[in-house]
């Protein structure tokens, strides 16, 4: 035993010495970057370089916590330390991109710390005793700030040692279970030190098309999605140039994950929700599930296109005045130009047509002027014939002149000047704008949704009852309106190209509705409607999309019960599926309760396999309506005391949430929908029967039961009172 303790102390001291070295190098690089930023010249080149250096500085600064978390000892004796971001031993390349210390290191420039995303780091996540991949040992290094607090060594150079199949399936089991047992803080942290093989396979999967990841509660869907963002930005520089979009289910969820990507060294990321995806548009009210389902149908795309087509101008003679003369572009010529831009968005088509019209007008003005000049010159030559040719100057009657003075043709400079004047003419612009006006998508959509006649004309898929429901809605945008507004704005296009403010790529992307991202990640993707999926596709036409979710946790108003149904209207059959099968977060004691719940929810999937036990048996208590506020407060106080330093959350019905929030100050009280993606040490589910009484209620209860990492309690309400207080109305 003393020998083991001595070995462990030696290992901790060894890793502490290395961490000290890495932190010193990290500080030196930050100082060097700060000096270069300060010395950058004030010209355009200097400003661009300064922006690049500041991005690198931010990435390195965020990655300073837990800079080193692992080590690989190869069978040939080579030792590599793994960290959040790559660090070189020497100066070359240090102030470049964070990817300088990536990929396969050369012997001349072996990184001090190898980036966890580099190919050489992958055995840290995938090597096993059965398949060591040339490695003799994997070491997990636990740190607290600048201090190494422990190490976990895992030999890899021997055959299977008789461990259980469960343990053999885990990489770094000790470090993983230690991390899972820690108190929850209310913010997600990185898991780069404990990613498991099935998770790492998804993180590093190709990004050449849609990847749909099915994963039950606690399987690490969000962890995988965010680490995949970091990996793709590291591996594909073009994605960093375009930014990555992360769509989450709620603002609370985004706040929960806000630290993860900066801690992984990535800043080229825009995180938002579908409700906030269109710049300048804010959801002002909720809508019923019935209306949400109606507005989520993909058939609205055709309705939007029909509406825009109705507003496009029809061919007619177009008259413009120039220098006091009238010029008419005939309808036949207008028809030809309109056909050439028919496939373009409304405002983009108008811009191109305007350029063509101005060119046609320029040609007409030139033709008329040259005809007039030719007539004048012919008359001038007739006059000259009356004079004695001997009196004419050498070179002909024009005395060596050129251009219109000789042959009635305008010079190139004359034509170019005319073209510029017509291009900038407000009068010509007024003619075009009157015939082909600017359109604002917001009032245009409001008119459509409030008019039964317009809805019947453009949305024949709607029934009379559905039209009446839509037309009777109050003012203000609802969540279902945002995808329709986005579709309309896309079909119209921008009247003028938007500016691109902001120093960081994410700032520019966030400000522009039409920004094209290098990749899109969708969390809780099972909740998206067909029209929301179309919003995703507009922002990533390459279809480089990763969607993670659990179809069994779907609570949205749409009727999808499989991933094929959910994404068919957007991706057809051109998507790949992956699955996370191991539950790391939710203990076995809780997962054992979920089988009957899934069955009643109509699930076709098996619940994920839990790999850990909390040792806490789920408990239940029944009480009357009157007892709920005070008794619930007592139960939550006990849970908070048992899990001091951690978190406790309450999940209940929408009807009870307000009263319980007032009774439990400082405790998150959420519906099952609001709790999606979140986790607490202990969860109290109040009125499970009320949750199941709502639409897709068994799916909601499945969500509610699986939010904890340690303890689950349920409060049942006596049937008499739950009929009035616990049922969520539609």
Q: What are phi and psi of 602, to 5 degrees?
A: 80, 25
pLDDT at 142: 86
pLDDT grade, residue 192 (50/70/90)?
Answer: low
Closest CA to 145 of 14, 20, 7: 20
Rounded mean pLDDT, 463-480? 96
Kindly state the tokens that stand for 639.
Answer: 């849970």
Alpha carbons 618 and 620: distance in angstroms, whole number: 7
| Separation of CA 545 from chain center | 9
First-to-last C-alpha distance (Å) of the chain: 64
Residue 172: per-residue pLDDT: 53
Rounded average pLDDT over 514-528: 94
Read off the pLDDT of residues 533-554 as tens digits, 9 standing for 90 and up: 999 999 999 999 999 999 988 8
Instruction: Give yes or no for a contact between 49 and 8, defined as CB atoms under 8 angstroms apart.
Output: no
Distance CA 226, CA 123 (A): 20
**Cβ–Cβ under 8 Å, residues 111 and 101:** yes
Query: Model confidence over 92-147: pLDDT tens digits?
Result: 444 444 444 444 444 446 789 998 889 999 998 888 888 889 999 989 888 888 99
- Give the pLDDT confidence of 656-672 residue by residue, as tens digits: 999 999 999 999 999 99
Question: What is the H or E stretch that residue 36 is in?
Answer: helix 2-39
Backbone angles phi, psi at 388, to 5 degrees: -70, 125
Longest CA–CA separation in the chain, Å: 129
H helices present in 649-730, as ranges: 654-663, 688-693, 697-705, 719-725
Q: How far apart are CA 527 and CA 588, in angstroms?
A: 26
713: nearest Cα among 636, 598, 615: 636
Distance CA 611, CA 580 (A): 13
Q: What percent of the chain has pLDDT over 90?
A: 54
State the Cα–Cα distance between residues 122 and 530, nearest whole angstrom: 37
Strand partners of residue 686:
715
pLDDT per residue over 386-424, tens digit each?
555 545 444 444 444 444 444 557 788 888 999 999 999
The Cα 114–Cα 22 span in angstroms is 11
CB 483 within 8 Å of CB 274: yes
pLDDT at residue 259, rounded to an integer: 67
- Binding-site members for ATP are 215-222
Closest CA to 685 of 658, 657, 714: 714
Q: What are phi and psi of 478, to 5 degrees?
A: -110, 165
Do the Cβ atoms of 406 and 398 come closer than 8 Å? yes
Alpha-carbon 219 to chain mean position: 21
Q: What digits encode the pLDDT tens for the residues 220-244?
A: 888 888 889 888 988 887 888 899 9
573 torsion bin: left (phi>0), alpha (psi -120 to 50), beta (else): alpha
| Nearest CA-CA partner of 121 in 157, 194, 70, 78 | 70
Cα(697)–Cα(397) distance, rounded to whole angstroms?
Answer: 97
- Confidence (pLDDT) at 67: 87
Average pLDDT over residues 593-608: 88
Mean of pLDDT values over 639-662 = 95
DSSP at 274: G
- For the residues 641-655, what does the mean pLDDT come to? 95
Residues annotated within a binding site: 215-222
Task: State pTM to two decimals.
Answer: 0.77
Q: Tokens for 651, please give them.
A: 């999940």
Which pair of structure tokens corresponds to residue 132?
A: 């060591």
Q: Which residues pair with 152 in a beta bridge?
A: 140
Cβ proximity of 285 and 474 under 8 Å:
yes
CB 676 within 8 A of CB 249: yes
Q: Is the dihedral of CA 444, 449, 454, 458 positive or negative?
A: positive
In sequence order, the 6+-apart residues with CB closer than 8 A to the CB of 101 are 85, 86, 87, 88, 93, 111, 112, 113, 114, 115, 118
For 440-469, what is the mean pLDDT?
97
CA distances from 36 to 51, 91, 97, 283 (A): 11, 13, 14, 44
Find the helix packing angle between 530-539 and 481-492, rounded to 10°.
Answer: 40
Task: Please report the pLDDT score of residue 704 as a whole number.
Answer: 96
Residue-wise pLDDT tens digits, 259-309 = 676 666 567 889 999 999 999 999 999 999 999 999 999 999 999 999 999
pLDDT at 314: 93
619, HSE (Cβ side, Cα atoms, 13 Å): 8
**Average pLDDT taken over every residue of the chain:** 84
């Amino acid at each position: 035993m003393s020998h083991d303790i001595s070995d462990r102390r030696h290992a901790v001291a060894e890793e502490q010495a290395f961490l000290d070295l890495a932190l010193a190098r990290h500080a030196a690089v930050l100082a060097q970057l700060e000096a270069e930023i300060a010395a950058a010249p004030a010209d355009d080149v200097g400003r661009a370089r300064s922006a690049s250096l500041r991005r690198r500085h931010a990435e390195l600064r965020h990655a300073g916590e837990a800079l080193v978390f692992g080590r690989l000892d190869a069978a040939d004796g080579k030792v590599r330390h793994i960290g959040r971001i790559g660090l070189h031993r020497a100066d070359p390349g240090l102030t470049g991109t964070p990817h300088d210390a990536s990929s396969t290191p050369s012997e001349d420039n072996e990184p001090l710390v190898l980036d966890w995303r580099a190919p050489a780091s992958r055995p840290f996540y995938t090597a096993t005793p059965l398949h060591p991949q040339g490695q003799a040992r994997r070491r997990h290094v636990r740190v607290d700030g600048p201090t190494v607090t422990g190490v976990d060594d895992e030999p890899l150079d021997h055959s299977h040692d008789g461990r259980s199949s469960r343990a053999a399936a885990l990489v770094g089991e000790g470090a993983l279970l230690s991390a899972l047992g820690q108190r929850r803080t209310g913010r997600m942290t990185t898991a780069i030190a404990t990613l498991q093989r099935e998770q790492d396979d998804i993180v590093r999967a190709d990004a050449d098309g849609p990847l749909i990841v099915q994963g039950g509660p606690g399987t690490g869907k969000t962890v995988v999605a965010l680490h995949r963002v970091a990996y793709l930005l590291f591996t594909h520089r073009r994605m960093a140039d375009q930014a990555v979009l992360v769509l989450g289910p709620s603002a609370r969820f985004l706040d929960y994950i806000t630290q993860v990507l900066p801690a992984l060294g990535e800043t080229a990321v825009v995180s938002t929700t579908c409700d906030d995806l269109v710049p300048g548009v804010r959801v002002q009210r909720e809508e019923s599930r019935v209306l949400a389902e109606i507005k989520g149908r993909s058939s609205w795309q055709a309705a939007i296109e029909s509406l825009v087509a109705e507003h496009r101008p029809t061919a007619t003679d177009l008259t413009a005045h120039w220098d006091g003369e009238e010029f008419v572009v005939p309808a036949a010529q207008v028809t030809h130009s309109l056909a050439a831009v028919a496939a373009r968005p409304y405002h983009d088509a108008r811009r191109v047509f305007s350029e063509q019209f101005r060119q046609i007008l320029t040609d007409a003005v030139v033709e008329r002027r040259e005809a007039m000049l030719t007539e004048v010159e012919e008359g001038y030559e007739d006059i000259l014939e009356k004079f004695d040719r001997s009196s004419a100057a050498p070179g002909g009657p024009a005395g060596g002149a050129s251009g219109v003075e000789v042959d009635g043709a305008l010079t190139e400079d004359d034509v170019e000047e005319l073209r510029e004047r017509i291009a900038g003419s407000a009068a010509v612009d007024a003619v075009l704008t009157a015939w082909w006006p600017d359109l604002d998508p917001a009032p245009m959509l409001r008119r459509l949704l409030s008019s039964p006649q317009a809805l019947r004309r453009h949305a024949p898929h709607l029934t009379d009852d559905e039209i009446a429901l839509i037309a009777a809605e109050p003012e203000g945008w609802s969540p279902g309106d945002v995808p329709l507004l986005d579709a309309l704005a896309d079909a119209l296009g921008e009247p003028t190209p938007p500016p691109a403010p902001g120093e960081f790529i994410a700032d520019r992307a966030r400000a522009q509705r039409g920004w094209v991202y290098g990749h899109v990640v969708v969390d809780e993707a099972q909740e998206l409607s067909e029209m929301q999926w179309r919003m995703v596709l507009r922002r990533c036409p390459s279809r480089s999309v990763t969607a993670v979710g659990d179809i069994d946790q779907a609570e949205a108003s749409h009727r999808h019960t499989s991933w094929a149904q959910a994404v068919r209207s957007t991706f057809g059959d051109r998507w790949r599926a992956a699955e996370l099968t191991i539950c790391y977060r939710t203990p076995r004691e809780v997962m054992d309760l979920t089988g009957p719940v899934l069955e009643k929810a109509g699930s076709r999937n098996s619940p994920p396999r839990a790999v850990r036990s909390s040792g806490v048996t789920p408990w239940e208590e029944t009480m009357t309506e009157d007892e709920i506020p005070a008794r619930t407060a007592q139960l939550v106080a006990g849970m908070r005391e048992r899990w001091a330093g951690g978190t406790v959350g309450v999940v209940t019905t929408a009807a009870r949430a307000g009263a319980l929030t007032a009774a439990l100050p400082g405790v998150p009280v959420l519906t099952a929908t609001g709790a999606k993606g979140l986790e607490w040490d202990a969860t109290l589910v109040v009125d499970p029967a009320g949750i199941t009484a709502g639409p897709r209620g068994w799916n909601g209860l499945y969500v509610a039961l699986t939010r904890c990492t340690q303890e689950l309690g349920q409060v049942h309400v006596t049937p008499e009172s739950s009929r009035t207080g616990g049922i969520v109305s539609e």
